[in-house]
Amino acid sequence: MTDQGMFGARGTGDTSGYGGLVRTAASTGSSERPYGSYFDEVADDLERAYPLFSEAIERVVVDRGELTLHVKRDKLVEVSMILRDTLKFEMCMGVSGVHYPADSGRELHAVYPLLSITNNRRIRLEVSVPDSDAHIPSLVEVWAGNNWHERETFDMFGIIFDGHPGLTRILMPDDWQGHPQRKDYSLGGIPVEYKGATTPPPSERRNYK
Amino acid sequence: MTTFDPYAPSRDTTEGTVYSVTGGDWDSLVQEIGSTKEERVVVNMGPQHPSTHGVLRLVLELEGETVTEARCGIGYLHTGIEKNMEYRSWTQGTTFVTRMDYLGPLFNETAYCLAVEKLLGITNDVPERASVIRVMMMELNRISSHMVALGTGALELGAISPMFFAFREREIVLDIFEMISGLRMNMAYVRPGGVQQDLPAGAIPKIRDAVKLMRKNFKDNTTLLVGNSIWMKRTQGIGYLDLAGCTTLGITGPVLRSTGLPWDLRKVQPYCGYENYEFDVITADTCDVYGRFLIRMNELEQSLRIVEQALDKLEKLEGAPVMVADKKIAWPAQLAVGGDGMGNSLDHIREIMGTSMESLIHHFKLVTEGFHVPAGQVYAAIESPRGELGAHIVSDGGTRPYRMHFREPSFNNLQATSAMSEGGMIADIIGAVASIDPVMGGVDR
């Protein structure tokens, strides 16, 4: 892993001219009722079906016409089961990891977009865990299709999904070091060895600074 | 093994004897296996194999010819597109996403741009003409993508003629793409806020002719395959996956519709104005490869219907803008297709280099730095030829995406390989995988 990214880019590589200013991704505050659209109905149904609602759901965010439920990780499986069986969110469209290094204590987020075919609705679950204890319960038991998505998120972010039937790397080679899509993993290259000759990575060959 | 065989050398491991078959001559291997008492054979198929639909590796455990376990190995085409996009401006992102699922570039671009527009809050400001062009291009792209699915699927099952016809039709579509965007594939034509440039003069009559020609040509493949007894024997009852299997595995697209569920995001959650087009959602109730094949065949006609309606709309919208009016977002370069492909129009270069310094500054700022996108996260989904293509984008308010993730239908649907093929014959795996129609560029990203 190189200290400096390709093309001399650091961080997000924002070239807007304010080189010294570091932009940190701010988390939006929770939304107040009424949420609008079908979101109130979803929240009401979930509260009725799940008595521990206020304990399990940390925040409810409605932004740009989308509902996000921030769920505590130890309640994730219970909430998912109720969303699947009672609220008819039959499909989970995978997992997307996000790394917020500045958000101390909640550095790693896992985002699950859910789809209800019965009610034609979409919501999103979000779980955040500290980098030092990057464990999230696996949802493969609830939605089997999450299998590969969780493997990908493990591969790219190093989030360990407890209870996953076979949590191994999926896109990167098995012996790869590090988790490439984390923010502390800079864009760069590794030396390529072919027929005995070694070619250095682009980040070391050229410097566009 | 007593003598060294150059076609099938073997070595003994703790797991048993491993044979590496490198030549085309399988006879010696078959003989060798026949002499052992072991019935269980583990076969590694791919990633370089003409029947695995790209660089897909299948690890198959066989009892005789019956598959007892099938596992996929992927990642051979991983290019780090999601990571790379965090280092490029929002507009540059289109050139990356277009290379993911290389058979459906316009779908990748549109899903990405719809998500960016949602983050910017300009979904309703995208001009109607741009949306109509997007729809037309996507439906043409659906035809070319389904053509590859049908052609390669048939080829993998041993039928060569359907592939010739399919690629002939695909060529017509690619020629249209070349006429409009200057490129046949990976065109980065859809941009946040609209499309890169308007249709060239005379495009609409040419597309109308192409639609007529394709409608006539499609009959060649229909008569070849629909009701063909060999084709039906190879596809009926193969790769079975019912509705419960599809929902738990998150399967969408033709595989889901082959269970009889008319789930098509163009109808149920319309985007780009799909609610204004008349078309049918094609379903089958057989849950098998043949059903999925029929769905793709019939979707071709529906796509042609949508293209015709889009052309009617475009004639009425002649001269309307194809990019948002906001000059802080719209790409300043007035692009044009020249003799050597697409580039800045000469008039625009004359203006920024010769007459207006402000135009040059504006152009330079927007092209090198890009525009800012308000912080937040969105998920935008569209119906790609393979199912739900979702773009999850997180912005920190900067000029580059903070995090990009694509919910690729190929990636997700490929998980069904085990469920579709275990317990069946080894020859039927090929049909099952072909009916999922995975594009490895999309799977691995």
The CATH homologous superfamily to which domain B81-329+371-444 belongs is Cytochrome-c3 Hydrogenase, chain B (1.10.645.10)
A209: confidence class by pLDDT, cuts 50, 70, 90: very low
Kindly indicate whether the ipTM for this predicted assembly is greater than 0.90, answering yes or no.
no
Token pair, residue B320, equals 């309307």
Q: Which residues, including other chains, have CB under 8 Å from residue A175's CB and lie 6 or more apart?
A: none
Contact present, A98 and B394 (Cβ < 8 Å) = yes
Q: What's the gap in Å between the CA of A18 and the closest CA on chain B?
A: 11
Nearest to A16 among B268, B381, B398 (CB): B398
Q: Tell me the residues of chain B between 360 and 419 that have a Cβ less than 8 Å away from chain A.
A: 368-369, 372, 375-379, 381, 388, 390, 392, 394, 396-400, 402-403, 405, 407, 411-412, 414-415
Q: Give the chain B residue whose CA is nearest to the CA of A24.
A: B396
Contact present, A97 and A124 (Cβ < 8 Å) = no
Is A61 an 8 Å CB contact of chain B? no
**Residue B440: which of B83, B152, B142 has the closest Cα?**
B152
Our count of domains for chain A comes to 1
Nearest to A12 among B372, B388, B402 (CB): B402
Task: Name A38's bridge partners.
Answer: none
Tens of each residue's pLDDT in chain B, 445 residues: 445 565 566 777 777 777 777 656 667 777 776 777 777 788 888 787 777 777 888 888 888 888 998 988 898 889 889 988 888 889 889 999 999 999 999 999 999 999 999 999 898 889 999 999 999 999 999 999 999 998 888 888 888 888 899 999 999 999 999 988 888 888 889 999 889 888 888 899 999 999 999 999 888 888 888 888 888 888 888 889 999 999 999 999 999 999 999 999 999 999 999 999 999 999 999 999 999 999 999 999 999 999 999 999 999 988 888 888 888 888 777 777 777 767 778 888 888 888 888 888 888 888 888 888 888 899 999 999 999 999 999 988 888 888 999 999 999 999 999 999 888 888 888 889 989 989 988 898 8
Predicted local distance difference test score (pLDDT) of residue A11? 52
Provide the CB-side half-sphere exposure for A120 (13 A, CA). 10
Nearest 10 degrees: Cα torsion B43, B49, B53, B58: 20
- Domain with A166 in it: 29-182
| A2 belongs to a structural domain | no
| A190 belongs to a structural domain | no
Number of Cβ within a 10 Å radius of residue A20: 4
Locate CATH 1.10.645.10 in chain B: 81-329+371-444
Contact A180 B247 (CB under 8 A): no
Q: Which residues, including other chains, have CB under 8 Å from residue B11's CB and lie 6 or more apart?
A: B17, B18
Q: Which residues, including other chains, have CB under 8 Å from residue A84's CB and lie 6 or more apart?
A: A90, A142, A143
| A146 belongs to a structural domain | yes
Predicted local distance difference test score (pLDDT) of residue B2? 47
Task: Name A168's bridge partners.
Answer: none
**In B, which residues are within 8 Å of A93 by CB distance?**
250, 379, 381, 388, 390, 407, 412
Predicted local distance difference test score (pLDDT) of residue B7? 59
**In B, which residues are within 8 Å of A98 by CB distance?**
377, 394, 402-403
| A171 belongs to a structural domain | yes
Q: Which CATH number fits the domain that encloses residue A120?
A: 3.30.460.80
Please give the Cα distance from B223 to B225 (Å, whole number).
6
